[in-house]
Amino acid sequence: MGVYDSLHVKDICPNCHEEIEYCFKTKEFGLSYADYYVGDYVDKADTNYFLQVDDDCPKCGHNRVAYIEIKKGQWIRTLSKETLDEELKRVALMKKIKKVESVIAELPEEWIDVVEDHLDYIICKCTGEI
């Protein structure tokens, strides 16, 4: 089996609906037998990434895949595949918004009303506000 760290997560099993404690094993952080919980600093490097892990439910055996979000070496939260996909789309969208800011800063005057109309439309669609 080798040397690994354990990431402990209490959650409801999506299959049997029992509250259980997952024990996700990883060799990602180097050679130790450390036990980690959300909020712990797991990676000595000052890096941001998502770590894919999986474990079987101790009650029914259902395999659960999860994604550990690490920001600046700290375990911030644990995501499902669906939540991770949504999060990655959001991150891509935020990068586009940053680009829109720089585009607007140098926008020719004749385009200002067009862009404003489009942004108002998006805001209205998303929030219902006019």
Under the rule (CB under 5 A), what is the footprint of Zn ion?
13, 15-16, 57, 59-60, 62
Radius of gyration of the chain from its Cα atoms, rounded to whole angstroms: 21
**CB of residue 21 to Zn ion, shortest distance in Å:** 12
**CB of residue 63 to Zn ion, shortest distance in Å:** 10
**CB of residue 25 to Zn ion, shortest distance in Å:** 18
For Zn ion, give the closer residue by CB, 21 or 85. 21
Indicate the length of the chain as a whole number. 130
Residues ≥6 apart with Cβ < 8 Å to 128: none
For Zn ion, give the closer residue by CB, 14 or 39. 14
**CB of residue 18 to Zn ion, shortest distance in Å:** 6
For Zn ion, give the closer residue by CB, 62 or 90. 62
For residue 73, report the phi and psi dihedrals to the nearest 5 degrees: 85, -5
Cα separation, 130 vs 66, whole angstroms: 39
Task: Tally the C-alpha atoms within 13 A of residue 82's C-alpha that lie toward its C-beta.
Answer: 1
Looking only at the bridges linking them, the beta strands covering 5-12 and 35-37 are: parallel
For Zn ion, give the closer residue by CB, 5 or 55. 55
